[in-house]
A and B are shown apart, each in its own frame.
Chain A
Amino acid sequence: MSLLQVAITATLVMYGVAMILGLLRLFRGPRAQDRVLALDFIFLVALLAMLVLAIRYRSGTYFEAALLMGVFGFLGTAAFAKFLLRGEVIE
């Protein structure tokens, strides 16, 4: 195993622990905004994991998946925050 593979594995493990902590906050979060924040964070970590997997498998497909996850994570969080603010998404 080369140095890069060890680093990639360690990074993915750290991302996994971070996503588990985010999931705990998602389930525990006392209020709705905590859950939205945790969901946004999990989306971000999944995006970063896509980029790391792109390095691991030397494939260009993961990059597009990461871009799409960025866009949809933004849309989801913005819609959730708008809903919390107003009670409806589109007025």
Chain B
Amino acid sequence: MIMEVVVSLLLLASGALVLTAAAGLWRLPDFPLRMHAPALANTLGSWSVTLASIVHGTATTQRLALHHWAIIILLAITVPITTALLARAALFRDRAAAARLPRRAV
């Protein structure tokens, strides 16, 4: 019973976090601001889902089910790489677009 309450709370928390991230992705005005929103789902959202499945798996199989940590480790390794690459690409593209504009006459 306690397991159900804990798992439910963790799942609902992750749902709220992912929804907040999606709202930020949809509502924020420009790209550098928009990049911040999915970090919420990438970090705390995925942590809470993984903790929920660890608790659930441990309680249902009566053994320690720790293999779900692999998801967390994978995300913790890959998400900073993609974020940095994407930010660098956006910066590069913005600079290239600004260089293509004609110079304003002084």
With contacts A14-B18, A44-B46, A67-B74 taken as known, whether A4 is within 8 angstroms of B25 at the C-beta atoms is no
- Report yes or no: B71 in contact with A47, Cβ–Cβ below 8 A: yes
A residues adjacent to B (C-beta < 8 A): 2-4, 6-8, 10-11, 13-15, 17-19, 21-22, 24-25, 31-34, 36-38, 40-41, 44-45, 47-48, 51-52, 54-55, 58, 63, 66-67, 70-71, 73-74, 77-78, 81-82, 84-85
- Report yes or no: B70 in contact with A67, Cβ–Cβ below 8 A: yes
Distance between Cα atoms of A20 and B13 in the complex (Å):
19
Beta-carbon nearest neighbor of B77 in chain A: A74
Distance between Cα atoms of A58 and B65 in the complex (Å):
13
Task: Tell me which of B9, B18, B86, B89 contacts A48 (CB under 8 A).
Answer: B18
B residues adjacent to A (C-beta < 8 A): 4-5, 7-9, 11-12, 14-16, 18-19, 21-23, 25-26, 31, 34-35, 38, 41-42, 45-46, 49-50, 52-53, 56, 60, 67-68, 70-71, 74-75, 78, 81-82, 85-86, 88-90, 92-93
Distance between Cα atoms of A19 and B67 in the complex (Å):
26
With contacts A17-B22, A44-B38, A55-B7 taken as known, whether A34 is within 8 angstroms of B68 at the C-beta atoms is no
Contacts of B41 in A (CB 8 A): 18, 41, 44-45, 48
- Report yes or no: A10 in contact with B7, Cβ–Cβ below 8 A: no
With contacts A44-B42, A67-B71, A74-B78 taken as known, whether A3 is within 8 angstroms of B5 at the C-beta atoms is yes
Other A-B contacts than A11-B11, A21-B26, A33-B89, 4 sampled, CB-CB below 8 A, are A21-B22, A37-B31, A74-B78, A78-B81
- Report yes or no: B85 in contact with A11, Cβ–Cβ below 8 A: no
- Report yes or no: A63 in contact with B46, Cβ–Cβ below 8 A: no
Contacts of B7 in A (CB 8 A): 4, 7, 55
